[in-house]
Structure 1
Amino acid sequence: MKKYASLIATAGMLLSMGMPVVTFASQKLALSATVKPITNSMTSISGKATQGTTVKIYSNGSYKAKAKTKSNGKFKINLKAPLSTIGLYQLQISKVGFKPITKSFTVGPTDYSSQINPLKSQLADAQTQLVGVQNQIDSMQSSVQSLSSSSSLSALQSELKAVQSSLSSSTDPTANASYQQTITDLQNQINNYNSSMNAAGYKPIIYQVQYQDLEQQAVTLQQQINKLQDQIQKLQDLSVQ
Structure 2
Amino acid sequence: MENDVIIDVSGISMMFNLSNEKIDNIKEYVIKFLKRELMFNEFWALKDVSFSIKKGESVGLVGLNGSGKSTMLKVIAGVMKPTKGKVLVNGTIAPLIELGAGFDTDLSARENIYLNGAMLGFSKKQMNEKFNEIMDFAELWEFVDVAIKNFSSGMLARLGFSIATASRPDILIVDEILAVGDYKFQQKCEERINKMIEDGTTIVMVSHSIDQVKRICKKAVWLESGKVRMYGDADYVCQEYQQ
Q: If the length of structure 2 is used for normalisation, what is the TM-score?
A: 0.19
Instruction: Give the number of the structure whose residues are more often helix, by fraction.
Output: 1
Which structure ranks higher in relative contact order (CA pairs < 8 Å, sequence separation ≥ 6)?
Answer: 2
TM-score normalised over the length of structure 1? 0.19
Structure number, greater radius of gyration: 1
Of Structure 1 and Structure 2, the greater strand share is in: 2
